[in-house]
Amino acid sequence: MGVDIGTSTTKVLVIDEQGEPLAKASREYPISAPCPSHAEQNAEWWWNATIECMREVLRKDRVNPNEIIAIGLSGQMHGTVLLGRDLKPLRPAIIWADRRSSAQCTRFYEIVGRKKVLDIICNPAMPGFMGPTLLWVKENEPRIFRETRKVLLPKDYVRLQLTGSLGTDISDASATLLFDVRRRGWSSCLSSQLGFPDDLFPEIFDSVSVAGELATGALGLPRGIPVVAGGGDSLVGAVGCGVIREGVVSSNIGTGGQVFVTLDNFRVDRQHRVHTFCHAVPGKWCLQGAILSAGLSLRWFRDSMGDAEKSEANEGNIDPYDLLSKEAESAEPGCNGLVFLPYLLGERSPHMDPEARGGFFGLTFQHRKAHMVRAIMEGVAYALRDCLVVFQDLGVTPKKIIARGGGARSPLWRQIQADIFNVEITRTRVEEEAAYGAALLAGVGAGVYSDLEEACAKTVQVASTDSPNNDRVKLYDSYYHSIYRKLYPALRGFWPKTANDIS
């Protein structure tokens, strides 16, 4: 059983030893924004969604609860769950999309030093990551900070409820900004400099290691089932689509977006444009370029301007995103000069700018809704291409790209990626890659597979391939270089005042 605690949805998936999906379930929950720059979730939302999903899959005809031999976990990265002495949350969890800790990121560099950040953390200090978030809590909610006994990442809170055991895995921990990525352990010198007690952080496991046993019978499963440590959703999703060897890249369009490549040997971008994390594959690292508003950009459009599609979808039991995608097919590539910047939450790779803002450029009276939807799809792909350019600067040239996440379900969005990246795009047969990867981790932890190489070889299968179209490649290449790449530096000076006015 694989459990994925996503940003907007928890998914549970049960597979057999050949990787065949037997049952799945999902539950949505909101993101709370008590202030414009804040993003929080109640940790109990994740746990309640997990309970409901697990009970639902166990009622399916193809699933026998007594045949579940292990559980794996995946979850949204960077978030901060603060637990008191009773191991209950002291406040809502502050998640990756939160931007309140911008000032703490500056202080983070002042306290730690830029060289140490590069040498130890190997990642830029950005809002929403655990390190700056904890610094914000320490400075702004001192009582909460004093009462905090443990800090967990989102999926680890769910595992605590399942097993009663505290812990995290090496992949998720490496993305906290409190971790020595090169040496693969918590950095006591960083904690000391920042004024964080060493015992605040949980024990670390490899992603395939058993980190506890199921301790509750309330889910309809026998007690004692091993629960593996799991990993961050981006890294576990890469496992779920077979991105475990160097040179193969995954392009994920979920709520956020990532391009991801496995590294056999440690490598870091000294300009801090992309991230270096420990992979969920034991002994390996990865490069990751992350954008904050990928599928979220389309969700924003759906919620703000997609009432007609939502109404039609409800009447016909259709996904409104399928209707938007179909509408976008009627717009020509390049959208008659309409370009979308997907910086709705600021931006991470490659700009690392929390004050960046999104927008449409080139809008005219002739543009219709179809153009706007397609421009969003193209803008997200341009932003991901920015990350691939950094990979190439670091000597990583994609041999093939595997599309995953909700965006991979859209044939149009896959083709747009193939044309903008000018690389063949493949898609695996399973859409819930993070939950699927979590199930594979569980299989290795339970001894069903000897390692993840065997697990992926036996289970991951290609479902489709999209090849670049030469004419569209040339068109998109022109738009990318002559317009998209020039918009960020041209507009950067205007955003700080805008950011101050609304936050």
* Residue 405 · residue 381 · CB < 8 Å: no
List the beta bridge partners of residue 25.
12
Global model pTM greater than 0.95: no
Per-residue pLDDT at 111 = 93
* Residue 98: CA count within 13 A, CB half-sphere: 33
Per-residue pLDDT at 502 = 47
The 10s digit of each residue's pLDDT in 447-485 is 999 999 999 999 999 999 999 999 999 999 999 999 999
What mean pLDDT is predicted for residues 489-501? 80
Q: Is the pLDDT of residue 117 over 60?
A: yes
Phi, psi torsion values for 98, nearest 5 degrees: -75, 140
Would you call the peptide bond into 350 cis, given omega within 30 degrees of 0 as the criterion? yes
**Strand 150-152 versus strand 72-75 pairing type:** unpaired
Per-residue pLDDT at 496 = 83
Instruction: Give the C-alpha separation, 443 to 464, whole Å.
Output: 26
What mean pLDDT is predicted for residues 183-207? 94
Q: Which two tokens stand for residue 220?
A: 């309809």
Q: What domains sit in the chain, N to C, each tagged with a CATH number?
A: 2-241+431-460 (3.30.420.40), 295-427+465-496 (3.30.420.40)
Q: Which two tokens stand for residue 2?
A: 């694989």
Instruction: Give the C-alpha separation, 414 to 484, whole Å.
Output: 20
**Count of beta carbons in the 10 Å neighbourhood of residue 6:** 25
Helix %, strand %, coil % of the chain (to 5): 45, 20, 35
What mean pLDDT is predicted for residues 61-74? 95
pLDDT tier for residue 500 given thresholds of 50, 70 and 90: low
For the four alpha carbons of 112, 116, 121 and 125, in that order, the dihedral sign comes to positive
Per-residue pLDDT at 499 = 61
The 10s digit of each residue's pLDDT in 295-351 is 999 999 999 988 888 788 778 788 888 889 999 999 999 999 999 999 998 999 999
The 10s digit of each residue's pLDDT in 122-161 is 998 989 999 999 999 999 999 999 999 999 999 999 999 9
């530096």: which residue's tokens? 489
Positions annotated as catalytic residues are 233
CA nearest to 462, candidates 413, 417, 400: 400
What mean pLDDT is predicted for residues 420-441? 94
Per-residue pLDDT at 498 = 73
Which stretch of DSSP H or E encloses residue 371? Answer: helix 369-393
* Residue 203 · residue 240 · CB < 8 Å: no
